[in-house]
Structure 1
């Protein structure tokens, strides 16, 4: 008996979008990317075995590569990673049932792309600044210096709490400063949860293509002003992953 297959869904696009001949999907070997159309909408798909495990790093990379490449040439509404349906009829039923929502979302993302700004504090520099600004923390640091952990446990815990609080407050301030610096160059912004205790900034921005060059310039200035304290990365252009929650009806 042949293995049962389904369709892995990547993203919803206008119906005139065509996958490139070299587009590779998830799975091992990578699936061939196809498109299922209904009215003026379509979904990028590839065939997968229903018993095939999906979720390897290579699968996530294939998913993101396809969506980010598509977003460079057309609006795309990412579908939650790992969504698999039984076949083309299920895809057309989905597009018909939510046509207005999907069409409105694609209109919103026309000529717009996501950039994500992620920065991480330099731990030693951050602690140095904290100790210079906070006499209580500096006193605790002096008390624990050179002493065995078991003898200075209480002071180390208090110092750790001070450092954690300082990181949180500084993170909030840096995220606000980042959003203020970008100003009207971003159509929307979406603060993201820290991925590490030393995260300094982590914000996604939806940017119009006409503003991309100036947006990148502003971000470069922001990063340069903080280069001793924060290691900043700009990721993009990307598909609008952080801006689809109101329209992402595929769970």
Structure 2
């Protein structure tokens, strides 16, 4: 029996956008990326087996690289990873049904790009500051230092709880400061939840292209002020993943 083929949708773009010849899609082997047009819109797609597995790290990388590369030259609405339809007619129907909504969203992202700023605490420096600010925690740390873990289990549990609470409060404050300092250079911001217990501030920023250099310089200054305590990473430019609202996404 012949394998049934579907279309993996990456994103919605203006109708005049053309995939580059070297664009690589998901799957093994990677599918050729094409644009299916309807009216003033187009969808970037590639063929995939309808029953084939998706979700390998290479697939996610291909998805992100295609969208980020597109966002560098044109507005794009990322479609949820793994969205597959049965054929070109289904794509055209989708574009027709949501044409006004997609067009308005693309206008919103014209000339704008996403950046993510992510900070992670340097653990020794963080613990040192927490203990310096909290005499009760410092006393517990003295009690357990050099002692057998089993003999000091209650104290270690309590110390861990106190440090965790202190880190959470610091993270909240760091996120507020991150958004206050850098948000004024962006047209929109989106806080991001922590992915690690040592995460500090993390947020996405939608930035006008004519302010990119100013934004990057501000991030570098922000990171330099905290370099003894926090390792700061700047990710981007990216497609506007964090700013495509639920009503704009293809579900």
TM-score computed with the length of structure 2 as normaliser:
0.98
The residue number in structure 1 matching 2:126 is: 126
The residue number in structure 2 matching 1:19 is: 19
Question: Deviation at 1:178?
Answer: 0.9
SS at match of 1:149: coil
Question: Deviation at 1:248?
Answer: 3.2
CA distance in 2, matches of 1:247, 1:9: 17
The residue number in structure 2 matching 1:239 is: 239
Structure 1: gaps of 5 or more residues: none
The residue number in structure 1 matching 2:142 is: 142
Kindly indicate whether residue 34 of structure 2 is the aligned counterpart of residue 29 of structure 1. Answer: no
User: 1:115-147 deviations in whole A, cap 9, x for unaligned?
Assistant: 000110011100001111110010000011111
Q: Aligned residues, how many?
A: 251
User: 1:148-179 deviations in whole A, cap 9, x for unaligned?
Assistant: 11111111111001111111111111111111
Q: Assess if the C-alpha contact under 8 Å between 1:80 and 1:248 holds in 2.
A: no
Question: Deviation at 1:247?
Answer: 3.5
The residue number in structure 1 matching 2:98 is: 98
Q: Assess if the C-alpha contact under 8 Å between 2:189 and 2:205 holds in 1.
A: yes
CA distance in 2, matches of 1:3, 1:180: 53
Question: Deviation at 1:250?
Answer: 1.4
- Structure 1 residue runs of 4 or more that deviate by more than 4 Å after TM superposition: none
The residue number in structure 2 matching 1:165 is: 165
Question: Deviation at 1:245?
Answer: 2.0
Q: Assess if the C-alpha contact under 8 Å between 2:67 and 2:78 holds in 1.
A: yes
Q: Assess if the C-alpha contact under 8 Å between 1:187 and 1:206 holds in 2.
A: yes
CA distance in 2, matches of 1:201, 1:134: 22
Structure 2: gaps of 5 or more residues: none
User: 1:29-62 deviations in whole A, cap 9, x for unaligned?
Assistant: 1100001000000000000011210000000000
Q: Assess if the C-alpha contact under 8 Å between 1:7 and 1:45 holds in 2.
A: yes
User: 1:84-132 deviations in whole A, cap 9, x for unaligned?
Assistant: 0000111111111111111111000000000000110011100001111
5 Å-filtered alignment, 1:1-251, equals 1-251=1-251
User: 1:178-233 deviations in whole A, cap 9, x for unaligned?
Assistant: 11111421000000111111100110000000111100011000000000100010
SS at match of 2:205: strand
TM-score computed with the length of structure 1 as normaliser:
0.98
